[in-house]
Amino acid sequence: MTPEASAHNDRALLVLSVLAQSKAAMSAAELMQATGLSQSTLYRQIATLRRWGFVMEAEGRYSPGPVSVQLATGFDGNSDLVMAARADMRALAQQSRESVALITAVNDRVVCLEMIDSEQSLRCSFDRGRSVPARDGASAKCLLAHMPTDQRDALLDAFGESPERRAQRAAELDAIREAGHAVTHGEVDAGVWGASAPVLASGRRLRGAITLMAPLTRVEGMEAALLHMTVVTAARISRALQ
């Protein structure tokens, strides 16, 4: 593949990624702002994606097309990780009465693969398909802590922080790996407490993390119990993947 073709593919995938993470159809102007692409470049990518059925257009706004939906359905039905985790996630959500997410790392971001929402009126949620930088929050820190060392170090280097701050992060991740879980509050979304434990396949290979999230106002005095439930659930799912 020529460098020009590779760059074209990267731009098309960037547009598709932005649309996949959006909660609503997007205009060309919104896509230009989100991707940083020029108008002419954006329209070339959209034309290609529409031709293949990855994007559809209605009244000047763009959203994932039927092929994208087929891919999502295929992943949902065939992912051993999601299938192995669902029943235990539902049990944890019922036991804790809080929201539970299955999170995985993709390059330098963490992505929600599955979400079981709390039935309480005041609840925290991390939309299925949403991604955030693999930097802060219980999910990101848990995943970073349990990655192979070279992968973790490459991500820490990419943060571009001072040597002192990088050393602090590395020490925090070492402590999380030793403890086997991460707990944070308010690092990604204000007022949200989160506990995350790794899902490990055979050979302690990292597959993802189970994260329980709840409003800070509701977890006081319940932190240890909620953390224990999360760790037990992640361990149960890990055993199913062995």
Q: Domain residues of the chain, as ranges? A: 3-71, 79-240
Q: What's the rounded Cα separation, in Å, for the pair 65 and 138?
A: 33
Range name among 24-33, 75-84, 186-195 with the lowest pLDDT average: 75-84
The predicted pLDDT at position 122 comes to 76
- Does the global pTM surpass 0.95? no
Residue 34 has pLDDT above 50, yes or no: yes
In words, the CATH class of domain 3-71 is mainly alpha
**Tokens for 128?**
């299925």
**Quick check: 234 and 211 in contact, CB under 8 A?**
no
pLDDT one-digit tens code per residue, 88-133: 999 999 999 999 999 988 778 888 888 999 988 877 767 777 778 8
Task: Look up residue 22 and give its DSSP letter.
Answer: -
C-alpha span between 154 and 50 (Å, rounded): 36
Q: How far apart are the C-alpha atoms of 107 and 31, rounded to whole Å?
A: 22
Confidence band for 180, pLDDT divided at 50, 70 and 90? very high
Kindly indicate whether the domain formed by 79-240 is annotated with CATH number 3.40.50.11720.
no
Task: Express as a percent the part of the chain with pLDDT over 90.
Answer: 59
pLDDT for 133: 85
Residue 7, pLDDT > 70, answer no
Tokens of 138: 């219980």
